[in-house]
């Protein structure tokens, strides 16, 4: 694995070129081009501000649109990275069959491309938050921490799923449904603290807040974004640390799983 990592590092220029290519293709023939990276979250924020500020009038959460946007942006990054990374090997079959390079370059470049779009969209969030009276605190300097954890987690997941897609082409179809379910069990449209302390299901009583953190790494990651960007503080450090360990473990397993099967990609795709 160490030898493979050294080889991957030697192809860092290829990763850069693939990320650049993906960004150019994404905005090709688009009148506004990269401006859509700012307009997309802004339009989503306006929609939810209207729905929950005018129609629904959710008064229990001040500046709900900021809370929502602080969770939606990192979720969109994760979702686009996963769904774009799954077909990264199959969709580049012509390269896999003809040219030698570390195959993991393809899914990793998709994740990094989604990361660039996420970073580009962040200034819009800070602008809208400031106009809404939600000012950043000193904890904003810790923002790279959840970003790094999310990148590690996303790469691990994408390495696993892109490998499965080579052998089972319905992987992306299952994940279409899976990502929707994942969205609703992650605190995006609701704050984690709004969940009840106890829930009884099939005669078993449990704390949904605790178990969401334990079973869903994205719950802890998104909650950290909300803490930093909306609440101006940082809570649940123990769960974030566990999530960091989980993300690293998934990355290591995903990289091993990918490398174990990548020798067969050229024959199958």
Mean pLDDT for 236-258 is 91
Mean pLDDT for 66-83 is 91
pLDDT bucket at 5, cuts 50 / 70 / 90 = confident
Reduced 3-state DSSP string for 34-80: HHHHHHHHHHHHHHHHHHHHHHCCCCCCCCHHHHHHHHHHHHHHHHH
The least confident of 96-105, 169-178, 204-213 is: 204-213
Contact 226, 71 (CB under 8 A): yes
Residue 100 — left, alpha, or beta (φ > 0 → left; ψ -120 to 50 → alpha)? beta
pLDDT bucket at 143, cuts 50 / 70 / 90 = very high
Distance in angstroms between the alpha carbons of the first and the last residue of the chain: 24
Strand partners, 200: 205
- The per-residue b/e assignment along 140-158, b for 16 or more CB within 10 angstroms, e otherwise, is eeeeebbbebbbbbbbbbb
pLDDT surpasses 80 at 38: no
What is the average pLDDT score of the chain? 85
pTM for the structure as a whole: 0.88
pLDDT at 59: 58
pLDDT at 218: 94
Which of 67-71, 101-105, 157-161, 195-199 ranks highest by mean pLDDT?
157-161
pLDDT surpasses 80 at 244: yes
Mean pLDDT for 181-204 is 82
């Amino acid at each position: 694995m160490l030898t493979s990592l050294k080889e991957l590092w030697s192809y860092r220029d290829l990763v850069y070129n693939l990320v650049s290519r993906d960004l150019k293709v994404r905005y090709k023939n688009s009148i506004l081009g990269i401006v859509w990276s700012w307009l997309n979250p802004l339009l989503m924020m306006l929609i939810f501000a209207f729905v929950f500020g005018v129609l629904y009038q959710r008064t229990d959460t001040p500046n709900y649109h900021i809370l929502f946007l602080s969770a939606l942006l990192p979720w969109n990054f994760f979702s686009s990275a996963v769904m774009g990374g799954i077909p990264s090997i199959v969709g580049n079959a012509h390269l896999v069959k003809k040219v030698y390079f570390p195959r993991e370059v393809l899914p990793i470049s998709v994740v990094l491309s989604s990361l660039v779009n996420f970073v580009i969209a962040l200034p819009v969030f800070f602008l809208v938050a400031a106009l809404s009276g939600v000012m950043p605190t000193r904890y904003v300097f810790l923002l790279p921490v959840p970003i790094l954890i999310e990148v590690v987690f996303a790469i691990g997941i994408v390495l696993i799923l892109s490998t499965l897609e080579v052998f089972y082409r319905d992987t992306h179809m299952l994940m279409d449904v899976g990502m929707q379910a994942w969205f609703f069990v992650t605190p995006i449209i609701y704050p984690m603290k709004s969940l009840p302390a106890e829930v009884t299901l099939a005669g078993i009583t449990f704390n949904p807040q605790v178990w969401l953190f334990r079973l869903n790494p994205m719950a802890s990651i998104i909650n950290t974004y909300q803490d930093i960007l909306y609440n101006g503080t940082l809570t649940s450090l123990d769960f974030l640390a566990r999530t960091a360990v989980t993300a690293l473990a998934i990355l290591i397993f995903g990289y091993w799983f990918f490398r174990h099967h990548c020798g067969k990609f050229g024959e199958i795709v």
